[in-house]
Structure 1
Amino acid sequence: MSLQLLLINPMMRFQVKRRFKKNPDVMTLRPVMQAMEPQNAKLPADVTAQQITLGGVPVEKLTATAAESSGAFFYIHGGGWVAGSPRTHRPLTHRLATQTGMAVYAVDYRLAPEHVFPAGLDDCVAAYRALLEEVPAHEIVVGGDSAGGNLALALALRLKAEGIPLPAALVCLSPATDLAATGGSRISNAKRDALFVEEMMETVEGRYCPGADPLNPYISPLHGDVANLPPTLFHVGDTEMLLDDSTRMADKMRAAAVSVTIKVWPKVPHVWHLMADLLPEARQAIDEIVVFVQIHRRAASGLEKAS
């Protein structure tokens, strides 16, 4: 464990978890993430941001100076479905653009509670379908963190159900896959988690999908038909309340013969990748994402040529 990680965990407990103990509502994330945005939105000189639309949905396109001419990383930010933006996630997305050589398309989907399920998922489907008009599916990787990891998996399930070409691979960082909360880590890791409290998790359903069945696979991908989904990478921390959301989803996908890579990281906070400016473990995790993406883009391109 790096010295930086040793310091960040207690800092997160003081700055974020303490707020959730006082007000255990997922909406508490909104001011927390708004406060992150000014610092996180800074970009290096070799990355350009364009504000575009895909399928009528606002999208931030990040392109590195030395980017390849083909390929797209379709990224869906987290924030409990109620917070966050492409700008809060630039410490991760600008590195993906630089290190993969792909343009990153970060979707600015509609947030709850103003726009409840399935609004955000519908935006992701619309933007992905429009991206297919510019980039072939075998050159696209879809990724997301936390709620965005949920939307990445739900998007793949929707694409499969609607007969739309699936991407080459999925990248899911600490995804929330089970709003029905049938796993045990939300309780067993409640004290160890550096950010969240159990009571906050209980408010998500009412904000994101009020009145809906939490077993709906587009709400809880863990309960969907995962056969024939693309190769998928999971990253999650061993102290996270959402640990089981990754491990159980990975197990289910493996049982359905999906190619799965999962790494459980010790002692890291939820979506530590966003702390890449400070945290060596975050930069190492991003390096591993890049390797995974490169391997599966090459494999998908080879299969496309062979067919």
Structure 2
Amino acid sequence: MRDMNFPLPVSKAVLGRMFPAMLNARLPFPVQRKLMDVGSALQWLPDNTVVHRLRLAGRPAEKLTVRGKSAAGAVLYLHGGGYTVGSLATHRSLAARLAHETGCAVYLLDYRLAPEHPFPAGLEDATAAFRELVEQAGYRPDQIALAGDSAGGGLSLATAQRLIAEHGLTPAALGLIAPWTDPNVVPEQERDLVINRPWSRACAAAYLGDGDGNDPGYAPLRGELHGLPPTYVQVDVSELLHSQCVELVGALRTAGVHVRFTESQGLWHVAQAQAAFVAAAAAAVRELSDFLKEAIQPVSMRDLG
């Protein structure tokens, strides 16, 4: 289906009603998940997307490719949703766009969610999925980028840290869309267009369970940042997570990590998921894809002639 470009005020008016109704701390998480899946119908797939269902490290997953395109390398995408909601359905469109723009296969992982499966279940799933892509799918670590949004962005960072520290595997790059990298931090704002403080606190508690909030796997912003691969962070200035993203970027740069940082104005939390009908969000996805593609398939001097 072809993209559209609705005016930002129209998109905001619609989404500003939908998200508070779905991401509501008074609703049980299973109900929130069903509502999110229903709402995902607004995020259609680009033409010629091929969706291959599989299992990755024992979890349901999808490999998204583009008919007629076959580039080396892959992206392992970890969806957002406060570690409690989100699914293959809610992020299939965004993952497909990354596949179209990078030319690479994008693996979308259905990692375990809290409160049924609190920390570190999701981290274990993501780590195992990356290792399986290396050990069984035949990719080199430097051919696989890790990407994710919100909680999935935090999970991507934690996964990279664990892969490096415990398995000696360094991903090609990190692509982080408004990453939630320290759930211990209480947002200063009450809400943005998409998420609100009571919901985020409920998610943080559900994800932690009986765990230790000081564990860097839970709060990777407080973990080891030295040695991480090139990282791109995208966030809008209006978001609850904006200040945390600014802190993350500063900490990464202090640790010597190559960082690209983009602060949009006028979008919303993970607007990239609505790229099908918001031109500015589609542009952000293209910028992220270019960064990931260059990391996975760097241009050599020989390629330049």
Q: TM-score, normalised by structure 2?
A: 0.89
Distance 1:7 1:202 in 2: 29
Q: How does 1:65-144 map to 2 (within 5 A)?
A: 65-133=67-135, 134-144=138-148
- Residue 291 of structure 1, CA deviation: 1.6
Stretch of structure 1 that moved more, 43-52 or 237-246: 43-52
Give the letter for the 1:178 counterpart: D
Distance 1:213 1:22 in 2: 23
- Residue 277 of structure 1, CA deviation: 1.1
Contact 1:76 1:152 in 2 (8 A): yes
What residue number does 2:33 align with?
Answer: 30
Distance 1:100 1:90 in 2: 15
What residue number does 1:164 align with?
Answer: 168
Match of 1:13 among 16, 35, 41: 16
Distance 1:289 1:61 in 2: 19
Aligned: 1:173 with 2:172: no
Distance 1:174 1:27 in 2: 24
- Residue 286 of structure 1, CA deviation: 0.9
Instruction: Say how many residue pairs are matched.
Output: 295
Secondary structure of 1:80's match? coil
Contact 2:178 2:241 in 1 (8 A): yes
Structure 2: segments with no counterpart, 5+ residues: 301-305
- Residue 39 of structure 1, CA deviation: 4.3
Contact 1:26 1:200 in 2 (8 A): no
What residue number does 2:303 align with?
Answer: none
Secondary structure of 1:49's match? strand
- Residue 293 of structure 1, CA deviation: 1.5
Q: How does 1:224-263 map to 2 (within 5 A)?
A: 224-263=223-262
**Aligned-residue CA RMSD in angstroms?**
2.2
- Residue 237 of structure 1, CA deviation: 0.9
Distance 2:217 2:86 in 1: 20
- Residue 57 of structure 1, CA deviation: 2.4
Contact 2:22 2:32 in 1 (8 A): no
Match of 1:4 among 7, 11, 21: 7
Give the letter for the 1:201 counterpart: S
- Residue 51 of structure 1, CA deviation: 1.1
Q: TM-score, normalised by structure 1?
A: 0.89
Stretch of structure 1 that moved more, 227-236 or 91-100: 91-100
After superposing on structure 2, the runs of 4+ consecutive aligned residues of structure 1 that deviate more than 4 Å are 18-22, 24-28
Contact 1:233 1:262 in 2 (8 A): yes
Map Cα deviations across residues 126-145 of structure 1 (whole Å, 9 max, x no partner): 11101012211111111001
What residue number does 1:204 align with?
Answer: 203
Give the letter for the 2:266 counterpart: K
